[in-house]
Structures are given as C-alpha cells and as structure tokens.
Amino acid sequence: MSSNSTADNLCAPDDHLCIVTEYEQAVIIVPTLLLLGTLVTLLALFVLRYCPGRRRARTTAPQRYHSSSHTQRQSNTQRHSHRHNLHGIDAPPGINPLEHEELPMSVQQVQQNVRPTLAAVPQMSTERSPGAFSQVTALPLAFSIKPNDTVSLYRARMDNKDVVLRVLKETANSRDKQHFLGFASFVSGLGPHPFLPALLGVVSVQPPIMMVVEELQHRDLLGYLWRCRQDTSSLESACDMTEKRIFTMAAQVASALEYLHSQGCIHGNVGARSVLVGGDLTAKLWGLGSAYRRRAQASSPGEAEDMEMRKWQAPEVLSRRAISQSSDVWSFGILLYEMVTLGDPPFAQLMATELLQYLQRGNHLKRPATCSSSLYSIIKSCCHWSPQQRLSVSELIRKLRAGEKSANGRTVVRVPEPLNIEKYMREAGYGEAYNYAML
C-alpha cells in the first residue's frame, strides 16, 4: 500500500495538520539532509580548489624570481662573453675566473740557471687568440730579503699592455691557495681607483693560479729614489725629483689612502717600498699584504708581530695599542722623509728596539738638509706622538695640494752620498727580510 493511501486512511480529508505530520519525513527532513550534504560537498570542493592554489602561488613566486635572476645572470654571462681580448681572465669587479674553460697558459719546465717563462697553450675556442701573454720573463727585484716560497713574479705583455703576473707556485698547499685567492678577492673588493694599481684579472680554475696586475714602468718608489741619487750627471729628466714633484706624487698616494680608509681598510704598511711609479711618474699605493693579513686573521688591531718595518710604524703600533687611520698618517710622514732624502731610512742613528723610547722622550725626525720648511711642517704634523693631534687624511691632501702650487719645480733634489745597500738594511732596522716590491 502506498504512503498516500495510508495517510488518507489515518487522517480525515480536511485535517491538514495530520496530513503535514504524516508527510514530514518525506517532504521536509530528507530534502533538508540532501541540501546539507550538497552544501558540505560544495564547501569541500571550494577548499580543495582555492587553498592549494594559494600555496602554489606562494611557492611559485620565488621560482619566478629565481628564473628572473637566472635570466639576468645568463644575460650578464652573454654580455661578458662578448668582451674583446678576454684571453682567459675576467676583469673586476669581483672574481670571475671563467669557470669550465681551459686556461690559456702553462708553466714550462726549464733547466736551472734559466729564467722561467710562461707559454701559451693553443685553444680550441675561436673567441680568443691562442697567446694570452707574451714576452714573459721573471720579474727582477730591487733587492729580495725574504723570498716568497709560494709566489713567483713575472712580467709580461697582455693586450699591448705591460702586466705583472703574480703566480702561485705548484708546490703551494691548499692553505696557500686559499690565502692567495683570498688576497685576490680582497684587492678586487676594494674596487678601482686612479692611484691604486689596477687588478686586471684572476685565473683560478686550474694551475697556474695567478693574479694579473698592471705593471708600472719605474716599479717601486724606493728603487726609483735610489736611481735618482746614483748618477747626478744623468741626462734623464725622469729621475729629477723636485720639491714640486714630491708634493704631486705625495698627494696622489694620500688620495689612494683616503679611498682605502673610506672602504674600511687601514693600510698599515705605508712607505716608499709600497708605492709604485708609472712611466708618467704617477704614484700608486700598493703593499696591501698587511691590510689583508690583518683582516683575514681577525687578530687584535694593535698586534705588530708581522710588521717588519718597525721604523715606519706609529708609536701606538710599536707599543701594541690599537692601530687606526692616524697610524697610516704617521707612516705617511715617514714616506715624505724618504722622498725628500731620495730613499734614506728614517731614524738611521737608532736601533729599531730603541725607537719607541726615543719617541717617548719627545724626540722626532730631524729636518733633512734637502727639505723645505713647508714640507717639513707637514712631516711634523703627520708625526705627532698623539694620534688625535695628527692631520686627518683630508687635511693632509689639502696641505699637499696647496704646497704643490707654491713648491719649487726647478731645483732638483740631490744627495751626494751613494747608495750602500748593506748600510741601508742595517739602518732601516730590517729584522726579517722580505720582498717589499710586490706583497
């Protein structure tokens, strides 16, 4: 029997309340449950549809950024790959050793008593000429008193320019390699400056690992000053050091020093041995080994065990107190003394161990016979006992440029006494010998 007939039998035809009660389950409850089930299903589908979409959006955003970064790197790589005359090294900023490429160089095995040379290895690539370097010879040093067991120096031609190759020896261990590449990265990170020697590139993929630095024709300033005093009858005007030229070259070195300080770098080794001289007599500050060692070792800034040139160091460095930018200014005053004496050592009459006590008594550098009063006043202003009383580098540059305008540009500085290298080393107070020409 159907439900309709059952309801008709139980309820009177005009009893609407009874009829609604009888049909409640079929007409109200079941549709309601079906409606609720439909809503729950739709809600679940909504969650599944949109919530994972948000998660995917969050995860794909970095992927898009990474892809964009990758595209930019590809663009940069393509742009660098079209540089002319790259020849197996890449240029700063940063060290980009052209990974996965063959190096265009190898060190030839040579017999004893024959200068080592570097020979070009033919390349499969047509983008570079087979000879990256030419006319490669060992770099002669003015004098070498502490041979470097891990680095060899060569001079060469690259892209019609004279360069110095600072090559890591094959006998170097992994620590030496890390130090070598760390120094290269340190120099590269300083960035270019007109009065710092240019780092032209770094080869680091496979041996021979090397730095390529521009060569300056007259090499280190100390050797240049010595050559100026050797032959007073020489007709070569390039060796004629006048007071005006001293002011000019000193201002260039001071400009480089100011730049290093702006990069958070204290040089710690300012002296004529750490300045290189170009063919046009442009002076460029080098000798950055001390600055790198201090940063790499993260040692106390007042430690001076590795600073062999103690007669160039400020009193606070000698007494192992904190080194500062003012310490470089003191050493700069000694550099001026070297220039005006054509390479005499400072405090020649003293032992290096006696210097600190000598300065504590209020003594200072004596005025050389070849030094004008204006230049000597700058030397004294640099070499105050108190760091706070020394000139700032910006003040130093201003005084040097002002002095350059009024300095004597005609009278050549002459020192009659010839160079005696043994006497110089003794008076300079070299405790340990080292190669100052290219740290």
What's residue 90's pLDDT? 36
Q: Any idea which fold 219-428 has? A: Transferase(Phosphotransferase); domain 1 (1.10.510)
What's residue 124's pLDDT? 27
What's residue 212's pLDDT? 92
Rounded to 10 degrees, what is the CA torsion of 228, 229, 234, 235? Answer: 40
What's residue 63's pLDDT? 39
Using a pLDDT cut of 70, give the percent of the chain over it: 67
Long-range contacts of 415-419 (CB under 8 A, 24+ apart): 415/229, 415/341, 415/342, 415/344, 415/370, 416/232, 417/229, 418/229, 418/230, 419/226, 419/229, 419/230, 419/343
Cα 60 to Cα 67: distance, rounded to the nearest angstrom: 10
Question: Is residue 302 pLDDT above 50, yes or no?
Answer: no
Q: Between 221 and 117, where is the model more confident?
A: 221
Confidence of residue 358 (pLDDT cuts 50, 70, 90): very high
Cα 360 to Cα 408: distance, rounded to the nearest angstrom: 35
Q: Between 54 and 230, where is the model more confident?
A: 230
Judged by phi (left if over 0) then psi (alpha if -120 to 50, else beta), residue 78 lies in alpha
What's residue 29's pLDDT? 76
Cα 374 to Cα 352: distance, rounded to the nearest angstrom: 28
Question: Is residue 8 pLDDT above 60, yes or no?
Answer: no
Q: Between 21 and 274, where is the model more confident?
A: 274
Confidence of residue 106 (pLDDT cuts 50, 70, 90): very low
Q: Between 419 and 17, where is the model more confident?
A: 419
| pLDDT, tens only, 193-239 | 999 999 998 988 778 899 999 999 999 999 999 988 875 555 454 67
| pLDDT, tens only, 169-205 | 988 899 999 999 999 999 999 999 999 999 998 988 7
Using a pLDDT cut of 90, give the percent of the chain over it: 43
What's residue 88's pLDDT? 34
What's residue 255's pLDDT? 98
| pLDDT, tens only, 377-411 | 999 999 999 999 999 999 999 999 999 999 998 99
What's residue 132's pLDDT? 65
Considering the domain 105-214, what is its CATH architecture? 2-Layer Sandwich (3.30)
Cα 152 to Cα 439: distance, rounded to the nearest angstrom: 11
Rounded to 10 degrees, what is the CA torsion of 109, 110, 112, 114? Answer: -150
Token output for 132: 């990256």
Question: Is residue 436 pLDDT above 60, yes or no?
Answer: no
What's residue 61's pLDDT? 38
Question: Is residue 281 pLDDT above 70, yes or no?
Answer: yes
Residue whose C-alpha is closest to residue 323's, from 347, 304, 351, 349: 304
What's residue 12's pLDDT? 73
Output the CA angle 36-37-43, nearest 5 degrees. Answer: 90
Confidence of residue 27 (pLDDT cuts 50, 70, 90): low
What's residue 406's pLDDT? 92
Confidence of residue 142 (pLDDT cuts 50, 70, 90): low
Confidence of residue 372 (pLDDT cuts 50, 70, 90): very high
Summary mean pLDDT of the chain:
76
What's residue 25's pLDDT? 62
Q: What is the DSSP letter of 220?
A: E
What's residue 157's pLDDT? 87
Residue 136 CB contacts under 8 Å (≥ 6 apart), including other chains? 117, 118, 119, 154, 155, 156, 165
Question: Is residue 306 pLDDT above 60, yes or no?
Answer: no
Poorest-confidence range of 60-69, 206-215, 392-401, 414-423? 60-69
Confidence of residue 357 (pLDDT cuts 50, 70, 90): very high
Q: How far is CA 316 from CA 313, 332, 393, in A?
A: 8, 15, 18
Residues of the chain within CATH 1.10.510.10 domain(s) are 219-428
Question: Is residue 431 pLDDT above 90, yes or no?
Answer: no
Cα 48 to Cα 44: distance, rounded to the nearest angstrom: 6
